[in-house]
Amino acid sequence: MKTDRRSLRTRQMLMGAMVDLMRSKRYDSITVQEITDQANIGRSTFYAHFTDKDDLLVDGVHRMLAGLTTATAATGRHLLPSLALLHHIGAQADMYQVLARGRGLHLFMTALEDELTTMLTERLTARLAADTTPAVPPPLLAAMIVGMLTTAIRAWVGGGCTEPAEDIDRMFRTAAVAAVRAGLRHTPPDEPPDPPTRQPAQRGGQHRPA
């Protein structure tokens, strides 16, 4: 137990050090040596926990989402902690602005998409009634919905996070709720195809068959 606590504290210190550095430096230019110096931790300790700084960032995304999910679990109303996530990003808008200048934001968003898609797939699957075939399979539906959220976040960060987080969340949820309702709709295997579209009547002057 002491080892687990020590390892967790080390991970938190290293992540905190990298966050401090990301507030003023492009992610691409930050080195492992700078991170360990900032955290006052040896390089060998860093590599005992992470393979490189990208691994550290991905671990930070995982822990951040775990914390946000736990904090919002009591409400039980939403499939994703989108508002809490937007508040978190908005509170550190300066850091995300710096991240956007290099590949750091792309790496962050990719890790975020992976984590959220896994989370949402599990929650959508749990909503399905037994022996039903949804219009869209949960893994694909989850990827689509998470893609809407991360696209909105990228645009929001690119615009300086000037719009209130609540407005971004409301717009996202409007689209997400509609997608969930349509995507989880039961589609019977023998459902007839949509009727053919009627062609507009031909106007006079054109040849008609006898």
Within-domain flag for 127: yes
What three-state secondary structure class fits 179?
helix
Q: Is residue 40 part of a domain?
A: no
Q: Is residue 179 part of a domain?
A: yes
Residue 41 placed within a domain: no
2-60 residue pLDDT tens = 558 888 899 999 999 999 998 888 899 999 999 999 999 999 999 999 999 999 999 99
Whether residue 141 lies inside any domain: the answer is yes
**Does 31 map to a domain?**
no
Q: What is the span of the domain harbouring residue 135? A: 51-183
The answer to whether residue 76 scores a pLDDT higher than 50 is: yes
How far does CA 92 lie from the centroid of its chain?
17
Q: Which amino acid is at 141?
A: L
* Domains held by the chain: number: 1
Is 158 inside a domain boundary? yes
Give the separation between CA 52 and CA 140, rounded to whole angstroms: 31
Answer yes or no: pTM beyond 0.85: no
pLDDT, tens digit (0-9, with 9 covering 90-100), for 100-119: 877 888 899 999 999 999 99
Q: Is residue 22 part of a domain?
A: no
The SS3 call for residue 186 is strand
